[in-house]
Amino acid sequence: MRDIPGTLGRVSVERSPVKPSRRQPGTATSAGQPGPSRWHALWVTLVAGFMILLDVTIVAVALPSMQRDLGASPASVQWVVSGYALTFALALVLAGRLGDAIGRHRIFLGALAAFVVCSVAAGAAPTITWLVIARMAQGITAGCLAPQNSALIQQMFTGAERARAFGLFGAIVGISSAVGPITGGLILALATGPQGWRWIFFVNVPIGAVALVFGYRLLPRVAPGKRGHLDLPGVALLGCGVLAVMLPLVLADAGGLRRLWWLFPAGVVLLVGFGWWERRVATHGGQPLLDPRLITGTRGYATGAGLATLYFMGFSGVWIVFALFFQNGLGYSPLQSGLAVTPFAVGSAGAAVVAGRLVERMGRLLTVLGLVGVVVGLAAAALLLRFAPPSLAVWAAVPALLLGGIGSGFVISPNVTMTLREVPVRMAGAAGGALQTGQRLGGAVGTAALPGTYYLVLASSRDDYRLAVAASVGVGIVAICAALVIALIEWRTDRGPTATPCPPEVAHGHCHATHI
Q: Look over the chain and give the mean of its residue pLDDT values, rounded to a whole number.
A: 80
Integer Cα distance of 88 and 440 in angstroms: 8
Output the pLDDT for position 228.
54
> pLDDT band at 482, cuts 50/70/90?
very high
Output the pLDDT for position 229.
67
Output the pLDDT for position 362.
86
User: pLDDT tens across 212-231, in order?
Assistant: 999 998 888 765 555 556 77
User: pLDDT tens across 237-265, in order?
Assistant: 888 888 888 777 766 665 666 777 788 88
Integer Cα distance of 508 and 34 in angstroms: 21
User: pLDDT tens across 343-392, in order?
Assistant: 988 888 888 878 877 887 888 899 999 999 999 999 999 999 999 888 88
Integer Cα distance of 135 and 130 in angstroms: 9
Residues 396/385, Cβ–Cβ less than 8 Å? no
Residues 142/118, Cβ–Cβ less than 8 Å? no
For the entire predicted model, the pTM comes to 0.75
Output the pLDDT for position 383.
94
Distance of CA 231 to the CA centre of its chain: 24
Integer Cα distance of 490 and 499 in angstroms: 14
Integer Cα distance of 472 and 330 in angstroms: 17
Residues 444/403, Cβ–Cβ less than 8 Å? no
* DSSP string of 102-154, one letter each residue: H-HHHHHHHHHHHHHHHHHHHHT-SSHHHHHHHHHHHHHHHHHHHHHHHHHHH
Output the pLDDT for position 267.
87
Closest CA to 231 of 304, 311, 157, 285: 285
Output the pLDDT for position 510.
40
- Residues 139-173 as b/e (b if ≥16 CB within 10 A, e otherwise) read bbbbbbbbbbbbbbbbbbbbeebbbbbbbbbbbbb
CATH number of 33-230+289-515: 1.20.1250.20
In terms of Cβ atoms closer than 10 Å to its own Cβ (0-12, 13-18, 19+), residue 21 is exposed
> pLDDT band at 456, cuts 50/70/90?
confident
Residue 51, pLDDT > 50, answer yes
- Residues 348-385 as b/e (b if ≥16 CB within 10 A, e otherwise) read bbebbbbbbebbbebbbbbbbbbbbbbbebbbbbbbbb
Q: How far is CA 149 from CA 50, 85, 143, 226, 436, in A?
A: 10, 18, 11, 20, 11
Output the pLDDT for position 511.
44
The ranges assigned to domains in the chain are 33-230+289-515
Integer Cα distance of 494 and 172 in angstroms: 28
How far the first Cα of the chain sits from its last, in Å, is 17
Q: What is the dihedral of CA 103, 106, 110, 111, to 10 degrees?
A: 40
Residue 489, pLDDT > 50, answer yes
User: pLDDT tens across 270-284, in order?
Assistant: 988 988 888 888 787
Output the pLDDT for position 68.
84
Output the pLDDT for position 10.
37
% of residues, the chain, pLDDT over 70 = 85
Closest CA to 128 of 173, 78, 88, 175: 78
User: pLDDT tens across 75-125, in order?
Assistant: 778 788 878 888 888 888 888 888 888 888 899 999 999 999 999 999 999
Contacts of residue 389, Cβ cutoff 8 Å, sequence gap at least 6: none
Distance of CA 38 to the CA centre of its chain: 22
Contacts of residue 117, Cβ cutoff 8 Å, sequence gap at least 6: none
CA Rg value for the chain: 22
> pLDDT band at 501, cuts 50/70/90?
very low
Integer Cα distance of 478 and 234 in angstroms: 33
Output the pLDDT for position 495.
63
Output the pLDDT for position 326.
87
Bridge partner residues of 3 (DSSP): 12
Integer Cα distance of 309 and 411 in angstroms: 12
> pLDDT band at 135, cuts 50/70/90?
very high
